[in-house]
């Protein structure tokens, strides 16, 4: 029996985590569930999983959540400090699935106390990089990736002999705009951008998949998760999303992990590793799939990829500026304040307007995020 806290339980990853827990009720005890503002879904999940605590980040919704959970023994808290306190509770596992920089403080809190963190929130690792991984090392915390690509690499990477790894190759579906021209992308709507062909995900990551910023962020995430250099990380377009990523070894051997595009698999692996949980969802039928295709990535049409490689190579505060500006620009695009192509443009301009500096502390990461938010909002 393991205890678990879910940060972002009402989102796409959070709901899939709840689904996995529902089918393994005897293996897990739910310590706390955390959401941003979706009171009804949070209350429903808390009752369903008999959680000890439910936390809503939006403080003004405290009374509403309290009313929804009246008559239960579930404790209720609200506000961003309460979110961090929930991450500090002594659960064995913390699922980090809040979207964006809002996930940074609670994820750091969980890592500081040595928890196993199932990491879905890539933005916090992109922003804080080695500061986050150093905290994990010092406390004895384990980071198990939830992103399907990193989960795949995690499963086939020889951590005991990393010198035998030639490179890691992340697969990319290409997103909903894989075959669009630049002119078509210029007038693309939020509804088109969030209609991902293979994966059902939250709005922000869906837009990131359309710009392919998501893949770029994943390249930076991979750099922090695995003992590789930037030039050992490659991306290949694989529209079927069946091969979730590859590790190539120095003898030419290439190992891959395959599966249906269903986040329950990497989520369950992160919860059970080094064990595995039986899941009853659709299994892979290779004969039915017939063929798998792979293409070179077109960075001319998807400049976000090169921006992310440049940020990774530059190091310091650049990736935090990039990720924050992207978050602001994606929100503005979803509110139809800017066009689709403006997203990457705003990210590039925000990076150019902020002084480059090395990152030495979490406080500095937070102040970089604040500065990048202001600059990007000004550009919007």
Ligand X SMILES: NC(=O)c1ccc[n+]([C@@H]2O[C@H](COP(=O)([O-])OP(=O)(O)OC[C@H]3O[C@@H](n4cnc5c(N)ncnc54)[C@H](OP(=O)(O)O)[C@@H]3O)[C@@H](O)[C@H]2O)c1
Q: Quote the DSSP letter at residue 102.
A: G
Residue 146 half-sphere exposure toward CB, CA atoms < 13 A: 28
CA angle 244, 249, 252 (to 5 degrees): 100
Shortest Å, Cβ 378 to ligand X: 22
User: Among 132, 205, 267, 347, which residue sits at the site for ligand X (rule: CB under 6 A)?
Assistant: 205
User: Among 53, 104, 201, 235, which residue sits at the site for ligand X (rule: CB under 6 A)?
Assistant: 201
Binding residues among 147-186 for ligand X as defined by CB under 6 A? 147
Other CB atoms within a 10 A radius of the CB of residue 114 amount to: 15
* H or E segment and range at residue 95: strand 93-96
- Asked if 151 and 145 count as a contact pair (C-beta separation under 8 A), the reply is yes
Shortest Å, Cβ 325 to ligand X: 16
Whole-number Å distance between alpha carbons of 277 and 326: 35
Region of 25-33, 174-182, 203-211, 336-344 interacting with ligand X (CB under 6 A): 203-211
Binding residues among 18-47 for ligand X as defined by CB under 6 A? 34-38
User: Among 49, 51, 74, 98, which residue sits at the site for ligand X (rule: CB under 6 A)?
Assistant: 98
User: Among 121, 241, 257, 350, which residue sits at the site for ligand X (rule: CB under 6 A)?
Assistant: 121
Q: Is 104 in the site for ligand X (CB under 6 A)?
A: no
Q: Residue 245's beta-bridge partner residues?
A: 170, 257
Nearest residue (beta carbon) to ligand X: 11
User: Among 30, 84, 99, 269, which residue sits at the site for ligand X (rule: CB under 6 A)?
Assistant: 99
Helix (H, G, I), strand (E, B) or coil at 337: coil
Shortest Å, Cβ 199 to ligand X: 6
Region of 198-206, 248-256, 310-318, 328-336 interacting with ligand X (CB under 6 A): 198-206
User: Among 18, 43, 76, 83, which residue sits at the site for ligand X (rule: CB under 6 A)?
Assistant: 83
Whole-number Å distance between alpha carbons of 257 and 151: 9
CA distances from 126 to 103, 123, 321 (A): 12, 5, 10
Binding residues among 128-147 for ligand X as defined by CB under 6 A? 147
Whole-number Å distance between alpha carbons of 64 and 115: 31
Residue 281 half-sphere exposure toward CB, CA atoms < 13 A: 14
- Closest to ligand X by CB, 81 vs 134, is 81
User: Among 11, 174, 239, 303, which residue sits at the site for ligand X (rule: CB under 6 A)?
Assistant: 11
Chain contacts with ligand X (rule: CB under 6 A): 8-14, 34-38, 57, 83, 97-99, 102, 120-123, 147, 199, 201-205, 263
């Amino acid at each position: 029996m393991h205890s678990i806290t879910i940060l972002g339980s009402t989102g796409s990853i959070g709901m899939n985590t709840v689904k996995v827990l529902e089918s393994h009720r005897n293996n897990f005890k739910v310590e706390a569930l955390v959401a941003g503002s979706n009171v009804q879904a949070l209350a429903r999940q808390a009752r369903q999983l008999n959680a000890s605590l439910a936390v809503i980040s939006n403080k003004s919704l405290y009374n509403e959540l309290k009313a929804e959970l009246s008559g239960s023994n579930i404790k209720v808290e609200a506000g961003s400090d309460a979110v961090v306190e929930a991450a500090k509770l002594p659960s064995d596992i913390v699922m980090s699935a809040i979207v964006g920089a809002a996930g940074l403080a609670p994820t750091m809190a969980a890592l500081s106390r040595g928890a196993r963190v199932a990491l879905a929130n890539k933005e916090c690792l992109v922003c804080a990089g080695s500061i986050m991984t150093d905290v994990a090392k010092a406390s004895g915390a384990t980071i198990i990736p939830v992103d399907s690509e990193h989960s795949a690499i995690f499963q086939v990477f020889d951590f005991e002999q990393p010198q035998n790894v030639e490179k890691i190759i992340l697969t990319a579906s290409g997103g909903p705009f894989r075959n669009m021209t630049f002119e078509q992308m210029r007038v693309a709507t939020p509804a088109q951008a969030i209609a991902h062909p293979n994966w059902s995900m939250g709005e922000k990551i869906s837009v990131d998949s359309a710009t392919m910023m998501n893949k770029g962020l994943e390249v930076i995430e991979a750099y922090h998760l695995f003992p590789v250099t930037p030039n050992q990380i490659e991306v290949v377009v694989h529209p079927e999303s069946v091969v979730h990523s590859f590790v190539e070894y120095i003898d030419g051997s290439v190992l891959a992990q395959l599966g249906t595009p269903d986040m329950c698999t990497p989520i369950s692996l992160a919860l059970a590793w080094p064990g595995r949980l039986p899941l009853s969802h659709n299994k892979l039928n290779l004969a039915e799939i017939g063929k798998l295709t792979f293409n070179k990535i077109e960075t001319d049409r998807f400049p976000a990829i090169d921006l992310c490689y440049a940020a990774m190579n530059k190091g310091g505060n650049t990736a935090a500026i990039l990720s924050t500006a992207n978050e602001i620009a994606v929100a503005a695009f979803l509110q139809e304040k800017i066009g689709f192509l403006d997203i990457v443009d705003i990210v590039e301009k925000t990076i150019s307007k902020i002084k480059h500096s090395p990152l030495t502390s979490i406080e500095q990461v937070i102040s970089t995020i604040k500065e990048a938010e202001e600059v990007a909002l000004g550009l919007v």
